Each structure stands twice: as C-alpha cells, then as structure tokens.
Structure 1
Amino acid sequence: MTNALLVYPQQPPTYWGSDFALDIVGVKAAFPPLGLLTIAAMFPQDHDLRVVDMNVTSLDDSDLEWADMVFTSTMIVQRVSLESVIERCNRAGVPVVAGGPHPTTFHDEIDGVSHFVLDEAEENFPEFLRDMADGTAKVIYRAPRKPDVTRTPVPRFDLIDMSSYYSMGVQFSRGCPFDCEFCDIIKLYGQVPRTKSPDQVVKEFDTLYELGWRGPVFLVDDNFIGNKREAMNLLPEIASWQKERGHPFTLSTEASVNLARMDELMDIMVEAGFDTVFLGIETPNPKALLKTKKPQNVSKRDDNYLFTAVRTIQGKGMQVQGGFILGLDGDDEGVFDAQIEFIREAGIPVAPIYLLTALRGTDMYERLKR
C-alpha cells in the first residue's frame, strides 16, 4: 500500500478566497481543492489517500512522515506556498509530484520536484502511476491531447471535511470559445469547450447530497455557456434534480457577457437554482475591449451595451458579480473614475479590480515579447 498525500498549498488573500468574510459565515475556506479531489479519484485501490488543504489546516510533520509521495496542484497565486511545501518535502526526503496550471506554465522555474504531471491529468496521470509501479517514471509528463471529460471520474469529496467550506465545486466544462488577449485559459484548455454529460454532473450532485451537503455549489467553469447547446441540455436535468429534492443547492457560475442575449437559457438557469453569475467585464471602454480582443463585450448598436447586459441578467433574478482590469491598452487616466461609476450605476455588489498581467503563453505575452 502506497501512502499518497495530496497537498493543496495556501492561497494569499484574493477575491476567490473571500478571506475576510470567512469568519462571518463560520468556515475556513471558500472552496475545496476540486482539482486534487479529481486526481484522488484516479488513484488505484492500492493507494491510501490523505488530503491536506493548507487553507483549512496545517501541513504537519506527521503528515510527511506518513507519506510515501506528496502530490500538489497549484495556480500561480499559490507559488510562494508551493515553494515552502517543496522545501519541507525535500528536507523530509519525500518525493514531490507537481501539476496544475502553475507548473504547466512555469515548471522550468520550480526546483525540488521529482516529477511534473502537466496539462490535464486524465491523459497522463495513469501513465505516470504505471511508470512509478514499474520503476521507470520520467521527470516530465505532458498530455498528448485534450482529454475527453466525459471519462473524468467523480471527485473524492469524501476525503475532505465539507463543513470547513462555504461552497462546494462542480466542473461542467473546460475551455472557452473566445480569444481574449490576456487570458491563459484558452491556452491551457483550448477554445473548443469540452463538457461532461448531464448524467455525470447529476452524479456529482448526488454524491454531494448523499455526503450531507446543503447550500452553495459553484460550477467552476471559466465560461459556463461556452457550449450553449450542452448547457441547454444540462440545465433541465439540474432543474428536475433540484425540484425533486426541495432545492438543496444554490448555484453560481462564471459566464461571458453574451449570456444577456440568451433569454431562454437564463430562464432555465434561474429555474435550476442559479442566483449569481460572475462576468468578465474588464472595462466599460469599448476601445480598450476591442484592443484586448474582447468584442463579445461590445455592441455597435448600443454604446451602453455592458450596462444593458448587466441589467438584463439582473432582471432575470441573478446577482451579477464583475471582474475588472486596470492597465488595458486603450484606457487612459479616466479609467479609474469610469470603472467606479460603472460599478455603482450597474449595481454590481462584488467587483474585484485587477492589474493587467501578461501571463506566459498568452497572446499578450507573445506580443510584448516581440
């Protein structure tokens, strides 16, 4: 029996962590480590698994003494904590296997890792496990293709204390059809959204329900409506599931602004239990939006299209949260007041504002590099 310790490094305070609101609702973290829980479901039965989410609990020396191997999955905001975890594992003599978006892009800058399992793990993690068993494991594993997510297993939610979290997470799709210059999602997951089947999503809902979860569930897709047809196929199934059980889950997700043009889909979202949607608004300046290759946020027929879109979605009964960016080409010093005015007038209660970052691999990074 191999002891596999799955460690989720600590996140610094960000919008997605809701750190300053956690005490108010009596939880330790906003969301569980869905990626690691999905990886956990891919292990064979001859592995004993333990999950340590460092946003909920500490990584103790006794955990490292127990572990034969440590597996981590991280985003770039967890870089500092990941480095600390790797250092502790190296001192304890425990091999580290690293994956997730951050190592996929920056593995050449990460020291002390025994094996990198990069890209989407469905395609290469089983190969890594076979090679480990044979004693032939390589340092770097890359996925030869984008995986068929209809074969992705149900995450091992049973490995966490669900009461430590504000919301559970479920993934329906990966990828986004748009081409925003600053975005790395399309580089990591592609521009052809791949979706799970409705039966898969319902099974994940069943698992959460049977484990006793009642409350918020965040559909973590970067663009829930990236494949509108499949979203329309899924939503009636969720609505029926919710109705049969007395609506135990309140749902939220992320979507592109063109959701406002999908009247029927919004109606079914509300029927299914969605009450919040996060939109990538970025800026109310159409010129800046076009320069950053985000035409889906612009309308030639409506100079106030973003305001109209937000109000349309709100009018359906869903709260709109919006992400904004400072530093886009095409914006000037008036952007600060313009952002504040738009947020206030549109009635957006939660509006994180970020500084533009040219992440490696994005079109913006390549343009600036040239």
Structure 2
Amino acid sequence: MKILLVSPAYPPTFWSMQYAGRFFHAPSNVPPLGLLTVAAMLPKDWPQRLVDMSVEPLLEEHLAWADAVFVSAMDIQMQSAATVVRRANAAGVPVVAGGPHYTLYYETVQGVDHILVGEAEAVMPQLVADLQNGCAKPVYKADGFPRLTETPPPRLDLLDIKAYLAMPIQSTRGCPFQCEFCDVLFLNGLKPRHKSLEQILVELDNILSLGWGGMIFFVDDNFIGNKKLAKTFLHGIIAWQQGHGQPFTFITQASINLADDAELLGLMATAQFKSVFIGIETPAAASLAECSKKQNLGRDLLRSVETIHSFGINVMGGFIIGFDADPPEIFSIQRQFIENSGIAVAMIGLLSAPPHTPLWKRLEKEGRILGFPSGNNTMDENALNFIPKMDKDFLVNGYKDLLREIYTPTASFGRIKKCLKHYKTPDFVTKRPVKLYDVKAMFHLFWTLGFFTKGRLAFWRLFFYILFKSPTELTEMLHLAAMVHHCQIVTTDFLRNKETCSR
C-alpha cells in the first residue's frame, strides 16, 4: 500500500521562521515530527513519500501515486489541511488524518475517511490491520495516554534535511501545570511521559548519520516537566556530545521555574542548549492568577529571565493580551517588561480559547464563546473567539500598537544587546571550527540587514558594539538578529494587511 504523508503548510507567524531560514537556504523551521513518527509505525514494505508543503507544493502526480494520504495538522495549519483533504477527495484517494487539530475537532471535520483521535501509538496497530483487511473504521480513539518507551525513531530518511533550520526530537509529552488557556492537558496529559535515554541517543545517532550538524529542537511540551528526569537526560546528552565532537546545539520549551535550578541550567548550557521558549504570558499578577499560571506568580520575572540568560541560554518569550484582569494600561506594561527583559524574540499574541480547555469551559458557561479559534493567535485579530471584558476595538488596536513598538529596529536590536550583556558562550563553542555553511549565512545576513533594510543603522550599531565589547558572542548576536528579522517582517506584513483592509 503506497502512503503519501502530507504536512500542510504553515502560514507566516512568529514560530514559522521562514524569513530567518532564508539566510541558510532553509524554507522551513522544523520537519513534521508527528507524521514522521507515524511513518515509522507503518509496515516496512509499504512505500512512503513525504510532502511537506512548507517546503514544496503538493502535486497531482503525488496524489496519483498514492493509495492513501496521511495528513497530520496543528490548528495553525487547518486551512492548508482542508485544501489537502479536498484535493485528495477530488482525486479519489482515501484520507487518514490525525494530530492535534483533528483530535480537537474530529466531530466537525469533513472529507476525511479515517480519523485518529489522540496519540498514534495507541491506535496505529489496529488501523494498519484494518487497512490491510479493507475494513478500516471512520474513527479510531486512543484509550488514555500511551507509554513512549515503544515509540520508534522517526523516519528522518524521508526528509531533505537541507530544507530545515532544525531537526526535531521529543523526549517527553505532557506538562505538570494547568494553565487555563492551554490544550496540552487535554492532548498530552498532566503527567509527563517519557522515552528512555537510550531512545534519545539513538535518535541523535540517526540525525548525525544524515550529515546534520546544526540545531536540534526538543519539541517537548515542557522539557523540565520532570526536573530529575531532565537532568538524567542531560547527563547522557553531554556525554554523547563530548564523544561525537559537540556537533549539535539545542533549543526547547520549558517553564520559568527553570531559573530556580542552577544545576539544571548548568547542565543545559554544557549540553549546548542555546535557546528556550518560555510562556511568560504577562507581568500582570492578576492576569497570571486568572489563568492559573501559578509557576509564574510570586517571582521576579525579570530576574528569572536574566538568570537564564546568564547561563548562555537566550529566552524566547510567549506573551498574551486579552485576559479579563488585564488593566487598560496592559500594553505599556507588556512593552516595558519586554524591553527591560532583553527578550529579543517576543511572541505576543491575543488570547484564544481552544476547545476542551478550562478557559473554553468557563467562557462557555458565561455565554461568551463566539466560535472556534482561528488557530493563529499572533497574526490574526480573529484569534479572540470570545467576548472580551475590555472593549474589543481598544484591545485589538492596543495589540497592534504594541507589536509596532516592539519590533522597530531600535527596540529589536536593543533587546539583543541587553540579552547579551548577561550572556556567556562556553569556551569549547568559541574554539569550534567555522563551517562554510555558516560563513555563507553570515555574509547573506550582513548583506540583507546591513544594506537592504530600514533598520541597517541599528544593526551596525549592535554589530560593532558586540564586536568590540564581547566578540565571543558575535555568533549568537547574528543568530538572534536573523530571528528578529523574521519577526519584524511578519509583524510589518500583519500590520500593513490590517491597515489596508480597514480602508
């Protein structure tokens, strides 16, 4: 049975990073790990092809080749996913769909022949058997959350690895915190489940065998959801890195309590974790209490960010506007915090209420739900799928002004400078041989940011400051500048499109 694996396209958002990827000739941020893991669960004698629509278009010849199309999507991909389903229907090819989007909305999805609800490990054996016997059911529901110790390594051999900024690994699923707006509790559970260290090291071996020597993204919901386990993993990763010549750097997602554990931070720095995404959400205590973001309450958030930066790990921050408890001056409060924190990549979004979350349930009881969210809370004012307490026009206009102020060249590059004041690159990284690949990307970045953008003066001021004050941080400065450049473009495009539509 010939299987066409299709990952729908991601629209431009803060997370997509395609404009940063252009410096490395990489059109996409990270491959579709869920789909590649499903591919590894299929019979070995079933021919497989992957089409990642963030890298290449889906062609009619792809559909003509396939006996079935497997689609996996997150909410942000829902529009592209719907197009894939319609095209497969028109070509007469059965569709099997799964992933977060289809798990959340399986009762309303149209055009899909077989839907996997929940995690694939729990249902793939039955689905495969039924497909082989010609009796596949419309819906397959996972019973609970499966163990990950039997999850196979993803089929990375299906990829063109040069098309990506980072390769993916997942060591755990689930998060111990219960933020009101987050659907991870429903999708992956409260108690983090994990792979074995041996599984992780095998996946590192596999990635290295492909010739990869760049960044790896641990896509865990919360890498430090179990701190003791994370330390065990990190000791193993450090030993692996040292035994293989330190080939990789890492990025992941974690909670702010990372700042409380110097041992954990030290291990991450030694392992070469260079970036971490943290959901800060807001410096307003009342809004944090409202959304049950308990791990962020009762702490100096600025000090926590500074502590993480001091270990050579830059913080990418998630921020939210639209809580009931947000005061009218929330926009200036958020702007001041972001500027003072030195968080260069600040992903600011409007609050959304996904189905099955505590927030959805609360707002539904209050009669405030307007419909399903758009799936994009950072570049879509329709992300507000509920009636906010604050006047909506005031809220949306304040959000746009905040984005406009945060991503001016002076503000953006100023935050990089502030971040790197607390930064320290490990000695073995500064001694690592420079690759031709990185040199080409550096000159492309210099050419673009130094000569062809409105922010070129701010860029050169930052460059010469780092060159003379802290030259060992120059590589990290350029890495952050590339990501900031992406954020500036998507912000400018969003604001321009909205201003055009309002005329």
TM-score by length of 1: 0.97
Mapping for residues 1-370 of structure 1, pairs under 5 Å: 2-299=1-298, 302=299, 305-370=300-365
Question: Following TM superposition, by how much is the alpha carbon of 1:24 offset from its aligned partner in structure 2, in angstroms?
Answer: 2.2
Q: Is the 8 A contact 2:18 2:26 kept in 1?
A: no
Q: Which residue of 1 aligns with 2:376?
A: none
Question: Following TM superposition, by how much is the alpha carbon of 1:25 offset from its aligned partner in structure 2, in angstroms?
Answer: 2.4
Question: Following TM superposition, by how much is the alpha carbon of 1:20 offset from its aligned partner in structure 2, in angstroms?
Answer: 2.5
Instruction: Kindly provide the CA deviation profile for residues 214-272 of structure 1, in whole angstroms up to 9, marking residues without a partner as x.
Output: 10001001110001111111101100111111111011101000001111011011111
SS in 1 for 2:14: coil
Structure 2: gaps of 5 or more residues: 366-503
- Give the distance between the partners of 2:319 and 2:18, measured in 1 at CA: 19
Q: Is the 8 A contact 1:292 1:329 kept in 2?
A: no
Paired residues, what number? 365
Question: Following TM superposition, by how much is the alpha carbon of 1:156 offset from its aligned partner in structure 2, in angstroms?
Answer: 0.5
> What letter corresponds to residue 238 of structure 1 in structure 2?
I
Identity of aligned residues (%): 46
Q: Is the 8 A contact 1:325 1:353 kept in 2?
A: yes
Instruction: Kindly provide the CA deviation profile for residues 64-95 of structure 1, in whole angstroms up to 9, marking residues without a partner as x.
Output: 00000000000011111111111110110000
Question: Following TM superposition, by how much is the alpha carbon of 1:328 offset from its aligned partner in structure 2, in angstroms?
Answer: 1.2
> What letter corresponds to residue 190 of structure 2 in structure 1?
Q
> What letter corresponds to residue 329 of structure 2 in structure 1?
G
Larger helix share, 1 or 2: 2
- Give the distance between the partners of 1:166 and 1:152, measured in 2 at CA: 24
Instruction: Kindly provide the CA deviation profile for residues 187-219 of structure 1, in whole angstroms up to 9, marking residues without a partner as x.
Output: 110000001111111100000001111100010
> What letter corresponds to residue 248 of structure 1 in structure 2?
P
Q: Which residue of 1 aligns with 2:389?
A: none
Larger strand share, 1 or 2: 1
Structure 1 window deviating more from structure 2 (340-349 vs 328-337): it is: 328-337
Question: Following TM superposition, by how much is the alpha carbon of 1:37 offset from its aligned partner in structure 2, in angstroms?
Answer: 0.5
Question: Following TM superposition, by how much is the alpha carbon of 1:124 offset from its aligned partner in structure 2, in angstroms?
Answer: 0.3
> What letter corresponds to residue 142 of structure 1 in structure 2?
K
> What letter corresponds to residue 105 of structure 1 in structure 2?
L
> What letter corresponds to residue 334 of structure 1 in structure 2?
E
Q: Which residue of 1 aligns with 2:450?
A: none
> What letter corresponds to residue 60 of structure 2 in structure 1?
D
> What letter corresponds to residue 288 of structure 2 in structure 1?
L
**4+ runs of 1 displaced by more than 6 Å?**
none
Question: Following TM superposition, by how much is the alpha carbon of 1:132 offset from its aligned partner in structure 2, in angstroms?
Answer: 1.3
> What letter corresponds to residue 126 of structure 2 in structure 1?
E
